[in-house]
């Protein structure tokens, strides 16, 4: 045994040194990555980010994703009282009506926020009774507001001369000289099915489902099922009809772009393949064109095209089309160069023309490769179409960026996000199914 | 013989091979033809719908297609002396764009590597988690970067970090799936050997699986880096910093600063081409070992 260890000592030396090198490399890679992250940390100013981050915005966003609020506001000058869901005109309760937790009496309004929190608006001003703390009383005096509340003031009461804001778990209360406003929060998305002006609002799911086909007509003019479908589809708050159309438009952009690019690049790929085109300069030129188209990037094509064609889904489809011509041209011509020449030979021996050779000798060989490529792109382009749509102004991407830019309709953002995820997953499984069906013939 | 007397049963293939072949061929052609008609019809009607919803007309647009680029390039040509300086000035924001792409690819790839080991049948640590993790990565992959980026811009303010996080999330989803497909084909014998000497799960993965899958994983990560450079340029255009943002500012200025547009465009184009070339070469080397 000793002999076998001792004897190859000379032979093991290079192996051992190679091992040492590899161990060093194995340590160096994490070290380099770590150093790079340290550089990024400094370069992106991540330390300063903690201060710049608006955590209150994050709280608003997350709360809005899963809940909604109802505003009960009084104009202090005219005395008019309005209840509105999310404070939007579309969600305003019809004249003189209010949610059942708001009691309107001739001289005062009592708002029950639940859990013992009660807000009262009266002629002298407003009061907020917070359980466990006491009564917050606000009345306008001279040019400012006079606040009476148990001292010391907690940090959830924010008071200045012209404005008092109280934020509790039950809701939010704001008093300014012109207006007093109370928010009460509720779980869930508001008016998702029917808006307040629909006769089906607030009827309860079981009652509506039970009376879907039979039962008394809630709206005498329409059958229940038709009325419900119409009111849901034309919901002014959520615009389900428009959203469905936008999703369709996005898929349309991806579909037209991907297949249009495939149709255009197939003949070009023949011209760029070594075994079909003997003119080297043409091949070279075409390849550079493909490289150029790919290199210019979808963003720039999108900008150039939207200048020429104006905003809309066709512009988006063309942007996807042009970008994909570069990728398809490259991969298609590579697939064509890798075909088995024997089949072409066989077709040629029957006296077939060049077109027939391509049709019967080449296409059947490359179809599976090309088709799987195209279907893969179809799926990935559905996602790109969302982004392209945001830039050219079409489809769900546009609705999404608009909803984000208003910075208050986050529940709609959440809704669109869910729909986009579902849409992409659907396209993913659809293209996978089609691929199996067409290629493997299952 | 019954067939001879009564003819073939309905739906049954004809008896002779030639007839059977022709029968099949006819059916195939019929299906193919129907599919083609359906495809052409949906392309045509889809195009018409898209054109109707579009602000500009297709044929009008085609004539105007060259207007904007020629306007831009004409102006840039007049001021061609400015180009080198402007290109140099665009380099810092270019570096930011590439950094966004590189950092997000690294983060995404590292997380994806870990997740993919946990969601591959046969080597997962907790097999019950496999379907859960797969759905999670599916959702990450399905979410376009722009959605996350815009929401993060609302919270964190504009800049590179929202884009980095958004692209990293998407990269995690995309690479997680590809990595796990590679790991599925890994040879399980090294794991058996390692577990027989008492190696922990982490050691089994590190010494048994990672060396097998590393070349393919790296090649996928490089491809993703290429894609992410483009994505980070696009996200810049919606306000997430980098060269896309510079381009947007210059474009909004309109005439008078087209030389800057061309300079940024050239820098971006050259970078994308160089990165494509390098990653092409690198991937070939990784996969073929040459």
For residue B4, give how far its alpha carbon lies from the nearest alpha carbon of chain A (Å).
32
Residue A149 · residue A135 · CB < 8 Å: yes
For residue A54, give how far its alpha carbon lies from the nearest alpha carbon of chain B (Å).
5
Closest C-alpha to B35, from A409, A367, A105? A367
Give the strands of the sheet with A179-187, arranged side by side. A81-85, A67-75, A179-187, A171-176, A163-167, A157-159
CATH number, domain with residue B198? 1.10.3720.10
Around Cβ B194, how many Cβ atoms within 10 Å?
A: 19
Phi, psi at residue A54, to the nearest 5°? Answer: -100, 90
Give the strands of the sheet with A117-122, arranged side by side. A102-104, A108-114, A117-122, A125-130, A134-141, A144-148
Last residue of a domain, one of B26, B53, B80: B53
Closest C-alpha to A376, from A417, A418, A334, A432? A432
Residue B78's SS3 state is helix
Read off the tokens for A427: 């396209």
More confident residue, B115 or A181: B115
| pLDDT score at A206 | 67
Q: Which domain holds residue B42?
A: 2-53
| pLDDT score at B9 | 55
Q: Per the CB < 8 Å rule, is B47 touching A46?
A: no
Read off the tokens for A295: 């290199």
More confident residue, A206 or B144: B144
Residue A174's SS3 state is strand
Rounded to an integer, the average pLDDT of A109-116 is: 80
Question: Above 70 in pLDDT, residue B243?
Answer: yes
For residue B5, give how far its alpha carbon lies from the nearest alpha carbon of chain A (Å).
35
End-to-end C-alpha distance for chain A, whole angstroms: 61
Helices (H) and strands (E) in chain B, counts: 13, 0
Of A160-174, A184-198, B185-199, the poorest mean pLDDT is in A184-198
Q: Per the CB < 8 Å rule, is A312 touching B146?
A: no
Q: Answer yes or no: is B154 within a domain.
A: yes
Residue B163 · residue B99 · CB < 8 Å: no
Distance of CA B78 to the CA centre of its chain: 38
| pLDDT score at A19 | 86
Q: Rounded to whole angstroms, how far apart are CA atoms B112 and B176?
A: 4
Residue in B with minimal Cα distance to A381 = B144
More confident residue, A77 or A209: A77
Mean pLDDT of chain A: 81
Structural domains present in chain A = 69-187 (no CATH), 198-237 (no CATH), 240-440 (1.10.3720.10)
Phi, psi at residue A23, to the nearest 5°? Answer: -65, -40
Residue in B with minimal Cα distance to A393 = B54
Residue in A with minimal Cα distance to B59 = A309
| pLDDT score at A261 | 94
How many domains does chain B contain in total?
Answer: 2
Read off the tokens for A307: 């200048």
Q: Is B150 on the interface with A (CB under 8 A)?
A: yes
Q: Is B269 on the interface with A (CB under 8 A)?
A: yes
Q: Answer yes or no: is B142 within a domain.
A: yes
As beta bridge partners, residue B265 has: none
Read off the tokens for A311: 């905003």
Residue A82 · residue A73 · CB < 8 Å: yes
| pLDDT score at B116 | 92
| pLDDT score at A8 | 58
Give B101-143 pLDDT, tens digit per residue. 999 999 999 999 999 999 988 888 888 989 999 888 888 888 8
For residue A133, give how far its alpha carbon lies from the nearest alpha carbon of chain B (Å).
33
Q: Answer yes or no: is B122 within a domain.
A: yes
Residues B150 and B23 in one domain: no
Q: Which of B41, B66, B67, B146 to mutate to test the interface with A (most CBs of A within 10 A)?
A: B146
**Cβ-based contacts of B159 with chain A (< 8 Å):** 44-45, 49
Rounded to an integer, the average pLDDT of B216-237 is: 87
Residues B26 and B96 in one domain: no
Q: Rounded to whole angstroms, how far apart are CA atoms A419 and A397?
A: 11
Residues B103 and B137 in one domain: yes
- Per cent of chain B over pLDDT 70 is 94
Give B147-162 pLDDT, tens digit per residue. 888 888 888 877 788 8
For residue A272, give how far its alpha carbon lies from the nearest alpha carbon of chain B (Å).
19
Q: Per the CB < 8 Å rule, is B157 touching A52?
A: yes
Q: Rounded to whole angstroms, how far apart are CA atoms A64 and A189?
A: 9
Residues B79 and B33 in one domain: no
Question: Above 80 in pLDDT, residue B188?
Answer: yes
Q: Answer yes or no: is B60 within a domain.
A: no
Q: Rounded to whole angstroms, how far apart are CA atoms A149 and A414?
A: 39
Burial of A44 (0-12, 13-18, 19+ CB in 10 A): buried
Around Cβ B137, how many Cβ atoms within 10 Å?
A: 23
**Cβ-based contacts of A295 with chain B (< 8 Å):** 269, 272-273, 276
Around Cβ A400, how many Cβ atoms within 10 Å?
A: 26
Q: Per the CB < 8 Å rule, is A57 touching B50?
A: no
Question: Above 70 in pLDDT, residue B235?
Answer: yes
**Cβ-based contacts of A305 with chain B (< 8 Å):** 61, 65
Distant-in-sequence contacts of A400-404, Cβ < 8 A, 24+ apart: A400/B146, A400/B147, A400/B150, A401/B146, A401/B150, A401/B238, A404/B150, A404/B151, A404/B154
Angle at the Cα of B193 from the Cα atoms of B219 and B133, rounded to 5 degrees: 50
More confident residue, A191 or B103: B103
Q: Is B43 on the interface with A (CB under 8 A)?
A: yes
Q: Answer yes or no: is B239 within a domain.
A: yes
Residues B274 and B161 in one domain: yes
Residue written as tokens 């008019």? Answer: A80
Q: Is B164 on the interface with A (CB under 8 A)?
A: yes
Q: Per the CB < 8 Å rule, is B99 touching A394?
A: no
Residue A198's SS3 state is coil
Provide Rg for chain B, Cα atoms.
27
Q: Is B227 on the interface with A (CB under 8 A)?
A: no
Kindly give the pairing relationship between strand A144-148 and strand A117-122: unpaired
Residue A256 · residue B46 · CB < 8 Å: yes
Question: Above 60 in pLDDT, residue B5?
Answer: no
Residues B29 and B163 in one domain: no
Helix (H) or strand (E) holding A180: strand A179-187
Give A309-349 pLDDT, tens digit per residue. 888 888 889 999 998 998 899 889 888 888 888 888 888 89
Rounded to an integer, the average pLDDT of A142-167 is: 80
Give A97-111 pLDDT, tens digit per residue. 777 788 888 778 888
A57 CB contacts (<8 Å, ≥6 apart)? B154, B155
- Per cent of chain B over pLDDT 90 is 15
Q: Answer yes or no: is B251 within a domain.
A: yes
Residue in A with minimal Cα distance to B160 = A44
ipTM of the complex: 0.78
| pLDDT score at A441 | 65
Q: Per the CB < 8 Å rule, is A311 touching B54?
A: yes
Closest C-alpha to A373, from A287, A290, A296, A261? A261
Q: Answer yes or no: is B66 within a domain.
A: no
Can you say whether residue B126 is alpha, beta or left, with left for phi > 0 and alpha for psi between -120 and 50 degrees? beta
Q: Rounded to whole angstroms, how far apart are CA atoms B188 and A159?
A: 68
Q: Per the CB < 8 Å rule, is A259 touching B145?
A: no
| pLDDT score at B12 | 57
Interface contacts A/B by beta carbons within 8 Å: 175
| pLDDT score at B2 | 46
- Per cent of chain A over pLDDT 70 is 91
- A297: nearest CB among B99, B143, B233: B233
Count Cα neighbours of A346 within 13 Å in the Cβ-side half-sphere: 8
Q: Rounded to whole angstroms, how far apart are CA atoms B285 and A392?
A: 39
Q: Per the CB < 8 Å rule, is B268 touching A44?
A: no
**Cβ-based contacts of A404 with chain B (< 8 Å):** 150-151, 154
| pLDDT score at B172 | 94
For residue A330, give how far its alpha carbon lies from the nearest alpha carbon of chain B (Å).
13
Question: Above 50 in pLDDT, residue A2?
Answer: no
Rounded to an integer, the average pLDDT of B54-83 is: 81
Residue in A with minimal Cα distance to B231 = A299
Give A361-412 pLDDT, tens digit per residue. 888 888 888 888 898 888 889 888 888 888 888 888 888 888 888 777 788 8
A330 CB contacts (<8 Å, ≥6 apart)? A287, A290, A291, A294
Give A59-99 pLDDT, tens digit per residue. 777 777 777 778 888 887 887 888 887 777 777 777 777 77
More confident residue, B177 or A169: B177
For residue A61, give how far its alpha carbon lies from the nearest alpha carbon of chain B (Å).
9
- A407: nearest CB among B154, B156, B247: B154
For residue A40, give how far its alpha carbon lies from the nearest alpha carbon of chain B (Å).
7
Signed CA dihedral, A373, A374, A375, A381: sign only: positive
Q: Rounded to whole angstroms, how far apart are CA atoms A421 and A434?
A: 20
Of A28-37, B109-118, B246-255, the poorest mean pLDDT is in B246-255
| pLDDT score at A3 | 47
**Cβ-based contacts of A389 with chain B (< 8 Å):** none
End-to-end C-alpha distance for chain B, whole angstroms: 64
Residues B27 and B110 in one domain: no
Q: Answer yes or no: is B185 within a domain.
A: yes
């Amino acid at each position: 045994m000793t002999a076998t260890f001792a004897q190859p000592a000379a032979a093991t030396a290079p192996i051992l040194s190679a091992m040492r090198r590899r161990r060093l490399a194995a340590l160096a890679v994490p070290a380099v990555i770590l150093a790079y992250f340290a550089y990024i940390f400094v370069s992106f100013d991540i330390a300063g980010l903690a201060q710049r981050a608006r955590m209150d915005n994050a709280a608003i966003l997350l709360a809005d994703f899963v809940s909604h609020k109802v505003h009960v506001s009084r104009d202090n000058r005219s005395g008019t009282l309005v209840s509105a869901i999310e404070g939007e005109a579309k969600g305003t309760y019809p004249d003189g009506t209010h949610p059942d937790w708001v009691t309107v009496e001739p001289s005062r309004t009592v708002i029950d926020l639940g859990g013992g929190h009660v807000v009262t608006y009266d002629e002298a001003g407003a009061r907020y009774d917070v359980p466990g703390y006491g009564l917050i009383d606000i009345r306008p005096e001279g040019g400012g507001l006079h606040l009476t509340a148990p001292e010391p003031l907690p940090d959830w009461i924010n008071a200045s001369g012209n404005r008092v804001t109280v934020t509790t778990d039950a809701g939010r209360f704001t008093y300014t000289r012109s207006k007093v406003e109370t928010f009460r929060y509720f779980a869930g998305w508001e008016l998702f099915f029917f808006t307040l002006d629909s006769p089906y609002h607030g009827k309860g799911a079981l009652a509506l489902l039970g009376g879907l086909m039979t039962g008394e007509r809630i709206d005498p003019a329409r059958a229940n099922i038709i009325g419900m479908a119409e009111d849901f589809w034309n919901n002014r708050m959520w615009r389900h009809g428009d959203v469905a159309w936008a999703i369709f438009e996005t898929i349309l952009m991806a579909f037209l772009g991907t297949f249009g690019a495939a149709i255009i690049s197939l003949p070009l790929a023949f011209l760029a393949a070594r075994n079909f085109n003997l003119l080297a300069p043409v091949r070279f030129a075409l390849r550079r064109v493909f490289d150029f188209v790919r290199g210019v990037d979808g963003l720039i094509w999108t900008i150039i095209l939207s200048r020429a064609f104006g905003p809309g889904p066709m512009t988006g489809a063309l942007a996807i089309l042009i970008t994909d011509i570069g990728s398809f041209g490259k991969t298609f011509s590579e697939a064509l160069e890798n075909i088995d020449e024997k089949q072409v030979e066989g077709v040629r021996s029957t006296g077939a023309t060049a077109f027939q050779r391509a049709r019967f000798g080449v296409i059947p060989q490359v179809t599976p490769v090309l088709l799987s490529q195209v279907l893969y792109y179809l799926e990935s382009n559905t996602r790109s179409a969302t982004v392209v749509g945001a830039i050219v102004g079409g489809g769900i991407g546009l609705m999404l960026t608009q909803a984000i830019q208003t910075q208050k309709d986050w529940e709609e953002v959440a809704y669109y996000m869910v729909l986009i995820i579902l849409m992409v997953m659907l396209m993913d499984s659809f293209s996978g199914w089609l691929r199996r069906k067409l290629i493997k013939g299952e | 013989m019954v067939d001879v007397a009564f003819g073939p049963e309905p739906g049954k293939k004809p008896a002779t091979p030639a007839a059977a072949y022709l029968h099949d061929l006819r059916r195939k052609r019929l299906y193919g033809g129907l599919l083609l008609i359906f495809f052409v019809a949906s392309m045509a009607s889809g195009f018409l719908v898209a054109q109707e919803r579009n602000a500009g007309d297709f044929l009008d647009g085609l004539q105007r297609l060259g207007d904007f680029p020629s306007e831009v390039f004409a102006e840039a040509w007049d001021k061609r002396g400015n180009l080198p300086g402007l290109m140099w000035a665009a380099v810092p924001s270019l570096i930011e764009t590439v950094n966004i792409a590189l950092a997000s690819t690294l983060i995404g790839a590292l997380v994806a590597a870990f997740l993919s080991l946990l969601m591959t049948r046969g080597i997962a640590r907790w097999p019950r988690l496999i379907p859960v993790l797969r759905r999670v990565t599916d959702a990450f992959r399905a979410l376009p970067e722009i959605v996350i980026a815009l929401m993060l811009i609302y919270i964190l303010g504009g800049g590179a970090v929202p884009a980095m996080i958004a692209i990293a999330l998407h990269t995690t989803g995309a690479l997680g799936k590809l990595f796990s497909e590679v790991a599925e084909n890994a040879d399980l014998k090294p794991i058996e050997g390692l577990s027989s000497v008492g190696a922990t799960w982490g050691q089994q993965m590190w010494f048994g699986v990672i060396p097998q899958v590393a070349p393919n994983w790296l090649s996928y990560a490089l491809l993703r880096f290429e894609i992410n450079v483009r994505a980070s340029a696009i996200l810049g255009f919606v306000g997430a910093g980098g060269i896309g943002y510079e381009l947007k500012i210059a474009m909004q200025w309109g005439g008078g600063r087209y030389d800057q547009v061309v300079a940024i465009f050239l820098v971006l184009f050259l970078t994308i081409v160089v990165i494509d070339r390098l990653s092409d070469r690198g991937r070939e080397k990784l996969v073929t070992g040459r």
